[in-house]
Amino acid sequence: MTRENPSDKTAIRDAATVIVLRNRDDDPQILMGQRGAKAAFMPNKFVFPGGAVDTGDARIALQSPLPALCSKRLAENTAQISAHALAVAAIRELWEETGLVLGTPGPWPRTAPEDWQSFAQTGHLPDASGLQFVFRAITPTGRPRRFDARFFLADASRIASDLDDFSAASDELSHLQWVRLAEVRRFDLPFITEVVLAEIQARVRDREPPDSVPFFKNDDEESLFLRLRGHPQAD
């Protein structure tokens, strides 16, 4: 598979997506927003917050790392990207697209990079201990953009900011809202989002990491549906 190349829009970019789950024991809801009509990737669709890993993400310190089991499963079937960089990207994208803070109160040890300054000004450090790796999918061939997306589940109780305050969000997603799981399929969703939702609905009340992680692997030769169990190996 062709991996990330800034000059090649069809190259596969590593990405992180966050599914924030609220009221999981009573009336489960997830946070979603709508992509713009002119977006090159999934225009008009309702999606979870997320986006591509930036080069600098690997250099951002985490107050607490991902759970060890999640890190092991992220390492399986890849030699391209670290679990640390993916977790940082997930927290950054959640902040940028929704204004929600997944972090722990505390001062930054040094001046925050430019794309983290607004996060640092909230008085929090990024904390990945509340993220669970629950799904991985590579965009099929023939699409205008391709991503190797890792989906993380976060309980809303781990969010340090007001769950209903999206005032710090960028304009990348519109109509940010908490959607009841029972009603989410009324929205215009990408196919892969529907697949991920089925996994989430099956484990709404299970707070432990899944026994294995589904991996929808599309490459130039074939499409496979695999399970990641935490035994690292290279492509």
pLDDT at residue 210, as a whole number = 82
Distances (CA, A) of 7 to 3, 10, 39, 101, 140: 11, 9, 18, 32, 19
DSSP state of 114: G
pLDDT at residue 232, as a whole number = 43
Helices 68-75 and 83-98 cross at an angle (nearest 10°) of 100
**Counted domains in the chain:** 1
Q: Quick one: pLDDT band at residue 206, thresholds 50, 70, 90?
A: confident
Q: Is residue 7 part of a domain?
A: no
CA–CA separation, 218 and 145 (whole Å): 13
Q: Is residue 2 part of a domain?
A: no
**CATH code for position 129:** 3.90.79.10
Kindly tell me if the per-residue pLDDT of 7 is higher than 60. no
pLDDT at residue 136, as a whole number = 96
Q: Residue 213: which domain range?
A: 12-228
Kindly tell me if the per-residue pLDDT of 221 is higher than 70. no
Distances (CA, A) of 226 to 77, 182, 222: 10, 27, 12
Comparing 52 with 230, which gets the higher pLDDT? 52
Q: Is residue 196 part of a domain?
A: yes
Q: Is residue 190 part of a domain?
A: yes
Q: Is residue 209 part of a domain?
A: yes
Q: Is residue 235 part of a domain?
A: no
Summarize pLDDT for 38-96 with one digit per residue, the tens.
676 677 899 999 999 999 999 999 999 999 999 999 998 887 799 999 999 999 999 99
Q: Is residue 104 part of a domain?
A: yes
